Structure 1
Amino acid sequence: MLLIQIALVMVLLGLLLGFVGAGGSGFIISILTVVFGYPIHTALGTALAAMFFSSLSGSVSHYREGNMVLRTGAVVGLAGAAGAWVSSGWSSLIPEDQLGFMTSGMLFASGLALWFRMLYVSRRSKASEVSAPPVVQGFRYWLQALLIGLITGALSGLFGIGSTPFIQIGLMLVLGMSMRFAAGTTMLVIMPIALAGGAGYLSIGYLDVQLLAAVVVGTMSGSYVGAKFTKRVPVVWLKTCMVLTPMIGAAILLL
């Protein structure tokens, strides 16, 4: 009965996440801990693993549309997977109350990073948004790609968040990708990070497979419907909701 209730709540949450186009791991963590009383470590592992399924369909779509720098995404994603695997083990060393507070802080930071990304994109000239992918070459380029993956993967594994704004900022500011390619490549990056992080939490006993199934079924069902409303509201409202969503999740987590 509890899992059915969770699935129904996740359908409602999925409506919001599908509307704003967010992974919503922070909201998932908040609902599981505050509303349903799950330990923070279990909530982190569940939210992180659920992101694999939510990013899978997005990755396929972006790849078919030609919005992905495949080699770069693979390198950043594999480095991120290593970071997520290691840091997921670190989370077990942090007391629940401290981890909840730290995760809340990271969600606020995620919202601010998303706002910064929107501001940065809006100020770039249309000429800079080239249709061709960036030139991929040189030792420095690949070193920077590895560092972006390790850092964002470690954040994801430790705090159970997707790190999407941080990944996109790294791809745009450091590797020189346009917003189009950064968005598509980020979807690929998240997949190995979520998979490795979820496996890390499973190995230390903090991933409930039945709970994961309820979360995935609920959020994916709701997201499918919620995405249909995205084009029906003014853009400024949509951007505001995108920034506020992780911050609201952070506020709930502090309750």
Structure 2
Amino acid sequence: MPNPPTRRPGKHPIQAAPTTSADVPAAREPRGARRKRETRARLLEAALRLMAEKGMEGAAINEITEAADVGFGSFYNHFESKEAIYAALTDWVFEDFADEVDRAIGGLSDPAQVMSVSVRHTLLRARREPIWGEFLIRESFAARNLNRGLGPRLLRDIRRGIAAKRFVIADPLMSFISAGGMILTAIAVELRFAIAGGLQASALRDFGFSGENVPERTAAILLQLMGLPRSEAEEIAHRPLPGVVLPNQGI
């Protein structure tokens, strides 16, 4: 699983090893600093897995340190509380990814294409990184996260589409709720049913679910929800996808 990015020192969860010529080569990194970084990374990976499964309240600090194979006291060398490590995770899962998507859509002027790109990248990342996707599903609609990351930006894009007369929507708030629910449900179907296999996947196949092109199909339906004709929505949803630059280091 890729490390969270480190664009804002001190705020992000995992301090990744240097990867560019402008950085100090990893071989010259002091041993103590490397060990501290690696311990922090293990703690965050363990916290992400546990909190994706149980939520913040359900994951205890001793469970995190045990899963990370780190001494209990070492936790407090990196985070002052469970809430602090949760904040580091949500900053990465919600804010950092949303920032990267915003950069990808920066050159696009059509609100419909902006929405399509954002939705497709979200589903594609959840497919590549299932734990990231599970955490997103669990925590997106938690009250403490409603003003962070992808949700507010989805509402922003809906409002821009309305202002540009690209979207024809009678109730923007309900359209936002419907869009957010559809995105998270599509992620859940892929992660919990289609990818996992078993009886759930078989049941979905009985309903005609093939699991193919789910990001594009989700984007197309959302654009129709925004008032676009079906043919146009499907064409936009299958356009080439601008890249999102994500860190390529493993934990």
Instruction: Give the structure-2-normalised TM-score.
Output: 0.32
Higher helix share: 1
Which has the higher relative contact order, 1 or 2, with Cα contacts under 8 A spaced 6 or more apart? 1
Using structure 1 for the length normalisation, give the TM-score. 0.32
Structure possessing the higher radius of gyration over alpha carbons = 2
